[in-house]
Amino acid sequence: MNRPIRILLPARRLALGVATLMLAALATHAPPAAAQGTMEKIRASKVMVAGNSGSYPPFEMMQGNKLVGFDADMAEELGRRMGVTIKFEIIDFKGIIAALTSKRVDVLISAVTWTPERAERMAFSVPYYNAGIGALYRERTPIAKPEDLAGKVVGVQLGSSGELFVRQKLGSVVKEIKTYDDIILAVKDLEAGRVEAVVNPIPVLRHNARASAGVRFTEVWDNRVVGINTRKEDTDLMAEINRHLEAMKKDGVLDRLDRKWFGTRN
């Protein structure tokens, strides 16, 4: 009569095999290690990478290889208070939001104006500047209100709040909208007569009017605020930034930078 064959393993080998199977099962069901958050990364490296267009004077502009302007000075003070070095990466403004959402940079410090559309893609800090919309024009062709742009060729910076304002409110009445990667190029075309007005936040227009003969700027047409930007999930980083911005408002740092870079107001 044939009997079933039983294979007996040594007790030690059997125990080791069971333990191996149990560890494999635990590894299969173990939760993944938490990814390092942006705030933790910044604290560990003592460096915060900020995206900036480098072409929005006087908020930001390049002097050789150095970034200067209101935002550069504000960032230096913010970094000092946070205990980190802020390293700027210069990016064309039209791609700056994508640079943040793709995690190429940690934050944006580039005078980005709040709009509902932008607020859906990223978080905004408490406002650090009110950059209301207006227009720059030549003295011989005065402009006072938005309706005065009807039938005119208007220059705007690509992706800016000025472009959004013109397209949404005046797109059907202006003769042509000319777009520029750099606001300085739009102002040069205004001086040369290739556009009849440049629409942009007033602080930037005010700065350019000071440096351009025969050019004036309008009153504010539409209030707009600018802030520092983080990804929406980086709530701890935003809380830290807001805390320092509020302190910089209270102790007069932002007012001093306004006077330094924009001069006196109308």
Percentage of the chain lying above the pLDDT 70 cut: 85
Of residues 42 and 15, the one with the higher pLDDT is 42
Q: CA separation (Å) from 41 to 28, 51, 109, 137, 234?
A: 28, 17, 18, 46, 11
140/74 Cα distance (integer angstroms): 37
Q: The tokens of 61 are what?
A: 């502009």
Q: Per CATH, which fold does 38-130+225-262 belong to? A: D-Maltodextrin-Binding Protein; domain 2 (3.40.190)
- Are the C-beta atoms of residues 115 and 238 closer than 8 Å to each other? no
Q: 253: which DSSP letter?
A: H
Rounded distance between C-alpha atoms, residue 152 and residue 196, angstroms: 6
Q: How far is CA 186 from CA 21, 65, 195, 254, in A?
A: 69, 23, 8, 28
Q: Above 90 in pLDDT, residue 45?
A: yes
- Non-local (6+) Cβ contacts of 236 within 8 A are 37, 39
Angstrom distance (rounded) from CA 263 to CA 111 = 18
Q: How far is CA 240 from the centre of its chain?
A: 17
Closest CA to 182 of 50, 88, 53: 53
pLDDT of residue 210: 77
If one looks up domain 133-217 in CATH, what number appears? Answer: 3.40.190.10
What length does the chain have?
266
The pLDDT confidence band at residue 16, using thresholds 50, 70 and 90, is very low
The count of C-alpha atoms lying within 13 angstroms of the C-alpha of 95, restricted to the half-sphere facing its C-beta, is 9
Q: Where in the chain is the domain with CATH 3.40.190.10?
A: 38-130+225-262, 133-217
What is the pTM (predicted TM-score) of this model? 0.70
Q: What is the tens place of the pLDDT at every residue in 156-203?
A: 999 888 999 999 999 999 999 999 998 889 999 999 999 999 999 888
Mean pLDDT over all residues of the chain? 87
Q: What is the pLDDT of residues 106-156, one digit of tens each?
A: 999 999 989 899 999 999 999 999 889 999 999 999 999 999 999 999 999
Q: What pLDDT digit, counting tens, does each position of 147-158 carry?
A: 999 999 999 999
- 198, 156 contact by CB (below 8 A): yes
Q: Which of 208, 210, 228, 200 is nearest to 128 (CA)?
A: 228
72 pLDDT higher than 60: yes
Which residue(s) pair with 107 in the sheet?
50
Rounded Cα gap, residues 186 and 188, in angstroms? 5
